[in-house]
Structure 1
Amino acid sequence: MDVEEMWAVFTTTLRNFTKECSFKRNIVHILAKPWIDQNILRLIRHKKSIWQRYLRRKQIRDYEDHRSVSNLLSSVIANAKKNYESKLIHSKNNKKFFKYVRSALNSKVDIPLVLNSNNTPCSGPEETADVMADTFAASFTKGTHQLPPLNVDRNFLEITESTFSPAVVEAHRSALIVNSSPGADGISATVLKECAQPLSYPLSIIYARSLETSSLPSAWRNALVTPIYKKGDKYNAENYRPISLVPVVAKVCEKIIQNSVLQFALSSNLIPECQHGFLPGRSVITPA
């Protein structure tokens, strides 16, 4: 069985088990802002009740009570919003942070309207996707595949089936971020993380067969591409950059190989001391 067939069997079995073992839950979407808690909601109801009392009795004391509660409510909401934004800034959840920024700017991620080669607006989403795809593809060039020589003594790295052992696969899946978006295959990081132990063995076999045959399942080479506006004319497709969502399974495979290659390079002293970017424990500010 080749890697394409193995991946088809795996995805079909996983989807069937997910459908049989999952349950549906009704989610109530609260329209209130995230910093509005139960105490603030009670204060809002209290403010409304005072106003209704003023409308019935028309007494100046009720009006003054309403103004006092209204001013207090404004102050409490302002402080709650400030505390929420402060926690959001210092949190590690970048996805939640940028979602809040987009909502604050009232800018939704949508299909942009761009001009085609005839300098006229695209007729629909399909033509927009074609224009974006041609623009993004033109930004990439094929390399010469000629690597510089390494004039150092080193050991030889051999990536074998043991590199993709079930224990290694399970460790990488347990470290997944559950709020990351799935790729075109629709397999979420939540399922892969919660089922890391039972899925580690079949995935280790698929990874090893992929390495053995030097081939990847076609689904791993597909990505969901979203154009993100950078700056300049919004009607110009060149002013957008692509964000690709690849299958989480493929990203884990890449991470395992990347860790093996990195450990080999570090142990063989192939990375110079002046290299600070893209290394664990180092960054562009560590040279200073």
Structure 2
Amino acid sequence: MREDNTEATDLREITELLNQQFASIFTSGSDGQLPSVPLSNTTSQMNKIIIDEAAVLKQLSNLDANKSAGSDDIHPRLLKEVACIITAPLTKIFQSSLNSGTIPSDWKEAHVAPIFEKGDKLRAENYRPISLTSVVAKLLERIMNDVIHDHLTTHVILSNNQHEFHHNK
């Protein structure tokens, strides 16, 4: 619905109304000061990260084949079914990306889709945006998350006050 309560029927206009709604609820910064957390053993440096095929195969095997394809239109079901074939090349791509400090530009793109929440389906405010990003890029993110989390846990760097992103808390 437009602001004047008339129904928009043009797809481009509907898209723009949803875009305006999503942009209006987006926050780009922190709402306040972050709490200070006492740091413990912060002298342990992280070694160069080496991605091995076992880590890539593990992430490919754990993909949910029922999820949507990302912005690159590569479906998780396909990746999961050909995991044994693509593990070695993906490992090389991931390691090359880490070594160069760059990622393919396609991995930075997202398709934003509106998901209906509740209420009147004609009102843009009753939708929330989800970003569909590259499944392959998410695989690398999960591998990196595991490596970083293992380092932080092994060297007891995470504070007991840390709860978010900390397993079993």
Query: Could you tell me the TM-score, scaled by structure 1's length?
Result: 0.49
Matched, 1:132 2:18: yes
2:130 alignment partner, SS class: strand
User: Equivalent pairs: percent with the same residue?
Assistant: 35
1:188 maps to what in 2?
Answer: 75
Matched, 1:242 2:129: yes
- Counterpart of 1:153 (choices 23, 29, 41) is 41
C-alpha separation in 1, matches of 2:76 and 2:13: 32
Matched, 1:218 2:105: yes
C-alpha separation in 2, matches of 1:232 and 1:158: 51
CA contact (8 A) 1:229 1:239 kept: yes
C-alpha separation in 1, matches of 2:13 and 2:114: 14
C-alpha separation in 2, matches of 1:192 and 1:225: 22
What is the aligned-residue RMSD (CA, Å)? 2.8
1:141 maps to what in 2?
Answer: 27
Query: Which structure: greater strand fraction?
Result: 2
C-alpha separation in 2, matches of 1:187 and 1:225: 16
Matched, 1:259 2:143: no
Higher relative contact order (CA 8 A, sep 6+): 2
Q: Deviations over 1:204-245 (max 9, x none)?
A: 222222223333222222223221233455443233211222
C-alpha separation in 1, matches of 2:151 and 2:47: 10
Q: Which runs of 5+ in 1 are unaligned?
A: 1-113, 284-288
Q: Which runs of 5+ in 2 are unaligned?
A: none
Q: Deviations over 1:121-160 (max 9, x none)?
A: 324222222222232233233337x986763222122453
Q: Deviations over 1:82-141 (max 9, x none)?
A: xxxxxxxxxxxxxxxxxxxxxxxxxxxxxxxx326x654324222222222232233233
